[in-house]
Structure 1
């Protein structure tokens, strides 16, 4: 009996949904919403395309799942960073995590930022608030770190930090130059040390 058979249909179903969600986040980031088909996501998840409709009735539901995936990744990252004793080190760890993704950013931009731009341009405007919630989650976490450092205007400092990341990932992507992320990330690390 295989592991899949031992787990039962419910476990296999949740595994398929998890694979589809992870694939949606990756493929939508790489190809964009309009250029991505449900078939692209099914292939990336190694799931028959007909099964996609069982879990997600529309592409918008897959976009929502991708946003949930981005939020979960952010939770994991900030949870790991919260284990560090010093808030400045947490913030620097965030920047270092961004730098580790510089090649991906140069190819595709920031996963959440690119979705935000795409969703804002759509006529229906139903999902742009959800992508804003993921960005708000990051801003709130960063603001909390600046507040723990006792710095004035911690929420404004969080906006400065996240704006810098969005700008450097946009430029790295537009110019296909990961070194922009490296240079600007190092500048952010020096800025955090100087605060």
Structure 2
């Protein structure tokens, strides 16, 4: 993609459409680079598809943080910029695994004993945070604002409606649409597979009456 002055400005401002474009343009090439590096002998755990996806999502979650967006000057190839972030992610993950005395393979971490539950929860929390960042990156500006108001800041529907210039029923409908899309997105990644959206309520278990 082209990094003209307007694109760079909107990227630094965190415009959802631009973040989504950046993700679509660079996610697959970065995944190929990481996978190739793994098969050449560096960070061999990335041969595991789950490890590769987790690293990819964590890289973009960090790349889309405000300070990191501001650090990109639009001149250096963004693929190289991303690869630098990915290397830092991988090095930090390796140090964490050394500290807990675990094998490098992802399966060894997820099958931890109760005493190691904190580590498993930390890894899962990071994965969910990265997934949410990727989901929000694909939202429109209004959807992103609604998501942050209702689910990030916990603002009441009436206040969210006023802030967005909408009626409360419009907010309810759009909120339900966001919940449904988020659920589908997370389920495609292996989360919340036993839940569903129903009516105006939040997620309910399938089969619940």
TM-score, with structure 2 as normaliser? 0.28
Higher helix share: 1
